[in-house]
A and B are shown apart, each in its own frame.
Chain A
Amino acid sequence: MIVTASLARPLIESSDQIFVLLKEWLVGFLPASWQPAAGVVLCVAAIVGLFPALFALTTVLERKGLGRIQNRIGPNRVGPLGLLQPLADGIKSLTKEDIVPASADRAVHFLAPLVLVVAVFMGFAVVPMGRNMVLVDMDAGLLFYFAMGTSTELAIFMAGWSSRNKYSLLGAMRAVAQMISYEVALLLSSVVVVMMTGSLSLTKIVAAQNQYTWGLPHWYIFTPWGLAGFLMYAIATTAETNRSPFDLPEGESELVAGYHTEYSGFKFALFFLGEYLAMFSISGLGATLFLGGWSAPFSFLTWIPSWIWFFSKLMLSIFVFIWLRGTLPRLRQDQLMNFAWKFVLPMTLLNLLVAGLWRFLGDGWERWVFCTAILVAAYVVMGRMGMRREHFGPRRYRYAE
């Protein structure tokens, strides 16, 4: 027993660190002075290669999943089970004509998709995708992530503004209003994690959750404030990535396609890519903050490589995104804004308070009861207030009568 365990350990460790070891082996061929730079380039290449591939896979899986939700089969024509569909789509978008409106601001119109994709890719730099698998282990990683995530709004407004099209502009205005509103909720819902960990570094946040009692992990989602924070975070990310039911910026029933109405060919594909990459990175961040990042859900499963856990959590979040898209109808703009400012924001603010309470109530059972009670009571009260029907009587004219 001991012998097999001691034999298995190096195997487990090397499978866990396989990408790190691969990088070190590859970099080892170069002179020592080049090695750090080459390592970074390799990691960047891996991120830039991997996530678009995941995007390609996700597009076809999303279409199939949505099809199944609607009792359809979904795409199954290109390749086995339709898995080569993204290849066909890619060839199509590459060979399509790239149309720029005559009165568009050409430079900004060209830059917008690039800025979007670059800003989204920057976010991946600080997300730990496995043990020792983070491109830049920044002390203020979370802050950097949100700084980069916020600059996607700039790209979207650039796209809407430069197209010189009323639908594009309206879509961009909606997108910016929505994204700024939910950015606040997104930040505040992740602040609780920072309060508990005492660090903005994402590796430290994962390390803090990578402990087990009775075989169960210390993930933040398993605490009252963590669960509330995670739900608020999930709502805010859905709005932040313009996914259904918050996909108003591209509401095709009223805005053609929103801010990317005037984009065609590969520029449109870049917008599409940027949207999905933002979904991946924000899901990855959510997993890092609340779902223990790359840590295993049970202590006896820690032998499975950490990167497998990270990516399964990521894909699970993507599945939930698709599931929500297949279920919920689109909100109205006023409902969206009311929801952000009157429900999500107060809940996140209250959650900050609850997290502080949790910290200072000690280790007993009292904190579980108190924190849960406060959050549930607030949810019920705010739910009742939010759902209160306004009864409109016959209209009274104050002066005309």
Chain B
Amino acid sequence: MFGEGILKGLAETAKNFFGSFVSRERLTTVEYPEQRIAPFEAARVFPFLIYDGEDRQAGLRCVACQICEKECPPQCIFIEKSKDKKPDFVGKPQNYPVRFEIDISVCMSCQICVEVCPFDAIKMNTAFELSTGDRFSGLLLDLDQLAKPNEYYHRIHPAGAAEVDARLAEEKVKAEEKAKAAAEAAAAAAEAAKTKAAAEAASEKQPDEGSSR
């Protein structure tokens, strides 16, 4: 009443006004191009593709299954599948994308492509300085711009990358075991077939002995 609330408010703003000249802690502004703060780990901007090892062509995890292309709500992904196949990280022959394009002027950073990818091949990037003078081809990222090494993923999302790597290693071990088991089974089957064949050959000579074994 009687305007003392106004005076109190004026005192508060005056305190801010003069205080911001005296103490730097009051100023929360980060003066962006000169000062930067590291992006949060959960930050996401636009997707990128991961490749393992040194060679982008050989290590690309994407197998051009086109699930992300189909799931993308604004339809900003374009994939052209290869005709031939190359081995993936477990050695299984897979297709690979000949063209993989993301139109980031359309992309809405929803992360659905990341969630549907069964191969952990597409992840969200944290690079945000993407302005360009050419608004058409400058905003259409191709495979060269999209593909980033796994080390880059480790750098921007350490926890997520570690988890993905552990899972992939487990899968690889499992696949190897499976392959080994399959090879053993095949070997055993071959052995069995051989013994069976031998037994059959023997049973032709001695029919009663073969059934008792």
Contact = CB atoms under 8 A, between A and B. Distances in A.
Contacts of B17: 65, 68-69, 323, 326
Contact of A323 (B14, B19, B31): B14
Contacts of A387: 1
A324 B9 CA distance: 9
Interface string B2-21: 11001001101110110111
A64 to B, nearest CB: 10
B29 A72 contact: yes
B29 A323 contact: no
B26 interface: yes
Interface in A277-323: 323
Interface residues of A, number: 18
Contacts of A71: 16, 19-20, 26-28
A122 to B, nearest CB: 33
B16 A73 contact: no
Interface string A366-394: 00000000000001100110010000000
A328 B9 contact: yes
A310 to B, nearest CB: 25
Nearest to B20: A68
A73 B9 contact: no
Given A69-B17, A72-B27, A73-B31, A383 B10 contact: no
Given A68-B21, A72-B27, A327-B9, A380 B14 contact: no
A70 interface: yes
B155 to A, nearest CB: 31
Q: Which residue, of B12, B13, B14, has the highest number of chain A Cβ atoms within 10 A?
A: B13
B30 to A, nearest CB: 10
Contacts of B31: 73, 76
Contacts of B21: 68
Main secondary structure of the interface of B (DSSP, over half): helix
A65 B28 CA distance: 16
Nearest to B25: A71
Nearest to A383: B2
Given A327-B9, A383-B1, A69 B29 contact: no
A10 B2 CA distance: 50
Interface in B90-135: none
Given A73-B27, A387-B1, A323 B10 contact: yes
A327 B10 contact: yes
Interface string B25-41: 01111010000000000
Given A70-B16, A71-B20, A384 B1 contact: yes
B28 to A, nearest CB: 6
B1 A69 contact: no
A336 B20 CA distance: 33
Nearest to B33: A77
A326 B13 contact: yes
Contacts of B16: 68-71
A76 B29 CA distance: 12
Interface string A171-185: 000000000000000
Contacts of A384: 1
Contact of A73 (B3, B10, B13, B29): B29
A379 B13 CA distance: 25
Contacts of A65: 17
Contacts of A73: 27, 29, 31
A351 B28 CA distance: 47
Interface of A: 65, 68-73, 76, 323-324, 326-328, 379-380, 383-384, 387
10 contacts: A69-B16, A71-B20, A72-B20, A72-B27, A73-B31, A76-B31, A323-B17, A324-B10, A380-B2, A383-B2
Interface of B: 1-3, 6, 9-10, 12-14, 16-17, 19-21, 26-29, 31
Given A65-B17, A68-B17, A328-B6, 15 more contacts: A71-B16, A71-B19, A71-B20, A71-B28, A72-B27, A72-B28, A73-B27, A73-B29, A326-B13, A327-B6, A327-B9, A327-B12, A327-B13, A379-B2, A380-B2
